[in-house]
Amino acid sequence: MFLQLAGLRCSLLLVVAVTAANIGDRDAAAGLLRRLRRLHRDITLVWADGGYTGSLVGWARGRLALTLQIVKRTDDMRGFVVLPRRWVAERTFAWLMNSRRLARDYETRPGNSEAMIQWSMVTRMSRRLARPRAVGQR
């Protein structure tokens, strides 16, 4: 199964789509971006990796009024380099792997996987909200 995340705002998962492995990234992204636009009209900028280049950028701008900004690795980079904004999605994938059911791909239906991802993020955010804050922090 393939997983896409969109709209990570302050570490909150806004939209998730899990598809079969034979569905391409760009094909699945169109539906995901439509759902993101429908649910969150205030979102105007979406970061994506190099797999989403091409006509999807123009389609998102023209049909959904979304700016799809591609975060690419340049050819002159050598070794490990942190790409701007890309770390947000990678960090979220790492958080999701803390959930046992998501780490082992137990789910056979995409809808069940999406529900488990949402449940995992709700658990993470509720723990974050429940922990005590230091004096002077917002």
pLDDT of 11: 60
Q: Are the C-beta atoms of residues 16 and 3 closer than 8 Å to each other?
A: yes
Domains of the chain, residue spans: 2-39+82-127
pTM for this entry: 0.72
Q: Are the C-beta atoms of residues 95 and 103 closer than 8 Å to each other?
A: no
pLDDT tens per residue across span 23-81: 888 888 999 999 999 998 988 888 887 778 889 999 999 999 999 888 777 777 777 77
User: Distance between terminal CA atoms of the chain?
Assistant: 38
Instruction: Give the pLDDT band (50/70/90) at residue 134.
Output: low
Percent of the chain scoring above 90 in pLDDT: 16
27 sits in which H/E element = helix 25-39
